[in-house]
Amino acid sequence: MIVETKTECCKIVSEDIEDAIVLEGSPGAGLIGNIIGWLLVDNLKMREIGYIESKYFPPLAVLYKGVALHPFRIYEGNGLVLFLSDFIVPQEVVFDMTNAIVDWMEKNNSKELVTFNSAIVREKMNPAGAVANTTESLDRLKEKDFPIMQIGNINGLSGTLLTQTAQKNIKATCILAETLTQYPDPRAASEAVKGLNKLLDMDIDYEPLIQEAQDIESRLQKLAEDVKNDPQPPIYM
């Protein structure tokens, strides 16, 4: 049955899926959450069960294999529910949307939340780290040997979801991948998938992301060599 969960500026339209682990993936630096979301949909053969809509969203549709999709979709499969956005959610919508997601989780007795984000670094030094919304959840991360981010900010949906789930006594984790730039970073996303596997005792195949990263790196290397071997002539004014 399709039901609606409304707040002032957005609405969740989806099936109710009870007792699931909820994942959230949306674009940020390195597009970590978005890359992971698409991998999960393909790898786990997840089923689309709904979407989030708002008049504040950008006017767009996402094309996938020739089909136009809603830009913020909800999937389920393997005991997981995935909230997947293909655009950066406007700041004026984040608070209300977070409340709608948490209300949906509370209504469906969701087990926990896992969200994805990134940390921009000068040099990648560690596997994906994590933060939690309670000391109990933090102890769990330490037991699983996650590097813990001690001080800093978690922006966007991830940060607000961590604080709002804490108010509802829903345990939540944000997995953070190190990335060097704002550009898509499938290699960093693969590290976050390794972290997800460790956290939930799963075996999601992240090799496609490593292959994608290698393809990108090969193209960039070739481009650099082409520029070096055939530089553009100087332009005189």
Q: How do residues 48-57 score in pLDDT, each as one tens digit?
A: 999 999 999 9
Buried b (16+ CB within 10 A) or exposed e, 198-235: bbbeeeeebeebeebbeeeeeeeeeeeeeeeeeeeeee
Query: pTM value?
Result: 0.87
Element (H, E) at 33: helix 32-43
pLDDT tops 50 at residue 214: yes
- pLDDT tens digit string along 151-191? 778 888 999 999 999 999 999 999 999 888 778 888 899 99
Question: Are the C-beta atoms of residues 177 and 118 closer than 8 Å to each other?
Answer: yes
Average pLDDT over residues 21-27: 94
In 10 A of CB 9, how many CB atoms? 17
Question: Over the stretch 76-94, which tens digit does the pLDDT of each residue have?
Answer: 999 999 999 999 898 889 9
Q: Which of 141, 87, 90 is nearest to 112 (CA)?
A: 141
Q: What are the tens digits of pLDDT across the range 98-108?
A: 999 999 999 99
Nearest CA to 73 out of 45, 46, 109 is that of 46
- Which pLDDT tens digit goes with each residue over 1-23? 566 776 778 899 999 999 999 99
Where b means 16+ CB within 10 Å and e means fewer, 142-163 reads: eeeebeeeeeeebebbbbbbbe
The pLDDT value recorded for residue 130 is: 94
pLDDT at position 223 is 55
| CB atoms near residue 190 (< 10 Å) | 25
Distance of alpha carbon 86 from its chain centroid, rounded?
A: 10
Task: Give the model's pLDDT for residue 3.
Answer: 60
Quote the mean pLDDT of the chain.
87
CA–CA separation, 218 vs 206, rounded Å?
19
Question: Could you tell me which of 210, 131, 190 has the C-alpha nearest to residue 163?
Answer: 131
185: Cβ contacts below 8 Å, ≥ 6 apart: 30, 31, 32, 35, 118, 177, 179, 213
